[in-house]
Amino acid sequence: MKNLLDSLGPVCAVIGAQWGDEGKGKIIDILAEHFDVIARACGGANAGHTIVVKGKKHVFHLLPAGSLHEGKPVILGSGMVIHLPTLLEEIRTLKEAGIDIVPRLLISEGAHIVLEYYKEIDGVMEEWRAKEKGGKIGTTKRGIGPAYMEKAARTGIRMGDLKRAFAGAAGDLKSMLRWKADIAQRQYGVTVDLDAEWDALKQAHDVIGGCIGPMTILFKLLHVDGKRILIEGAQATLLDLDHGTYPYVTSSQTTAAGALQGLGLPPRVLTSCIGVAKAYCTRVGEGTFATEETGKIGERLRERGGEYGATTGRPRRCGWLSLQDLVFSALINGFTHWNITKLDVLDEEGEIPVGIAPKEDGAMNYQKLAGWKASTKGMRSFKDLPPNARKYVEFIEERTHIPASFIGTGPGREDMIVR
Ligand code: IMP
């Protein structure tokens, strides 16, 4: 383990290789102990990971999964869009469990704020898509698209604006809000409750106003203080705005390059990049999914893998692993290691098809690998795995030329093979 951790170097990114929900939280939790700073770069409350605080399960959307590691600075980067009441709720949950994250929380002044009414616009746009564009995206309705639209239009409100507003420039922010409310009404028929929006901003400023600052802090932490930085990716590669299955994607950059951009870190500081992929595949929301199983097999994978969305509770679409997608994600991100998760979910399968490449008619060409029909649950050593389970992992390694250094064998923190 020590050699492996040393090989990750001072800046490591953990990136989802499929459509999200690969189980990034567990590897983050394991690695966070060995890094000094935990940073989240992009996305917003569309993400969701379950955190166990003092024996009680909570779903967190904004704070990174590594936040529980006491004493480590937690960074929310410029690429993020932050719904302030959600952030306050997460801070409160931690505080009730005796963890005060505020003194070690650093929020980029460039991160955008998701106002409450953005969620309504998100809903209105989904209705339009359903009626007039042939179908919805199936967004999380957390206002993510509208927040990034405002960012690209340069009409967004950023954390730095919040800080300035309560340091004496409230008038500017109030008039900006009025102008935006007018547009929301005229363009989307959404009525904005300006008083409620203002109250939410004020309440947030009271709690986290002191956390807002420039992202150059990361340079200091890395280069002056010699700290190791763990970058926690959100969503996943195939949902990337530029490289994913557009238009069925999220509105942010979900790749390693996107994460560096979101944190203001130069690409060459990245020393390792762990691609996280389920041993099979899932997707929430609409869009292509060539290896999807819509019948009994899909149901079986869903039940065995507990595949229901952490953010929306939606049943996830399930299917087989697509090698083609893994190769694509590995190339786009420059993965140095794999974390293959939930191998145990395949324990009962007699034969395991792996999608190799689509045929001309769009159907998938599969290579069928033999199943192992034995429990791998909780295994912690690669050599103890049934031979066919080892072959399955080795098949992924050989075809992608990337070592599977971490293999998940169950939901518990300890259920992980580290090679
Ligand atoms: P949005 O990010 O809410 O706009 O949703 C766009 C698409 O990304 C939808 O298909 C969502 O289901 C999907 N999505 C966004 N965030 C996540 C995530 O954290 N896990 C899985 N899917 C996500």
pLDDT higher than 90, residue 49: no
Q: What per-residue confidence (pLDDT) applies to 361?
A: 81
The mean per-residue pLDDT over the stretch 12-27 comes to 95
Minimum-distance ligand 1 atom for the alpha carbon of 47: 19
Length of the chain: 419
pLDDT in tens, 171-190: 999 999 999 999 999 999 99
Residue 316's SS3 state is: coil
Q: What is the CATH number of domain 112-210?
A: 1.10.300.10
pLDDT in tens, 118-143: 999 999 999 999 998 889 999 999 99
List the chain domain ranges: 11-110+213-418, 112-210
Token pair for 113: 């704020």
Q: What per-residue confidence (pLDDT) applies to 411?
A: 87
The Å distance, Cα 249 to ligand 1 centre, comes to 7
Q: What per-residue confidence (pLDDT) applies to 2?
A: 83
Please provide the average confidence, as pLDDT, over all residues in the chain: 95
pLDDT in tens, 295-343: 999 999 999 999 998 778 889 999 999 999 999 999 999 999 999 999 9
> Between 3.30.2290.10, 3.40.50.11540, 3.40.440.10, 3.40.50.2300, what CATH number should domain 11-110+213-418 receive?
3.40.440.10
The residues that are catalytic are: 21, 49
Token pair for 99: 């963890």
The Å distance, Cα 304 to ligand 1 centre, comes to 22
Place of tokens 């979900």: 254
Token pair for 60: 């967190």
Q: What per-residue confidence (pLDDT) applies to 360?
A: 83
Minimum-distance ligand 1 atom for the alpha carbon of 287: 10
- Residues of 149-167 as b/e, b for ≥16 C-beta within 10 angstroms? bbbeeeebbbbbbbbbbee
Of 160, 83, 170, 71, nearest in space to 118 by CA? 83
DSSP per-residue letters across 77-115: EEEEEE-HHHHHHHHHHHHHTT---GGGEEEETTPEE--
pLDDT higher than 90, residue 246: yes
Domain 112-210 in the same topology as domain 11-110+213-418? no
pLDDT higher than 80, residue 55: no
The pTM for the full model equals: 0.96
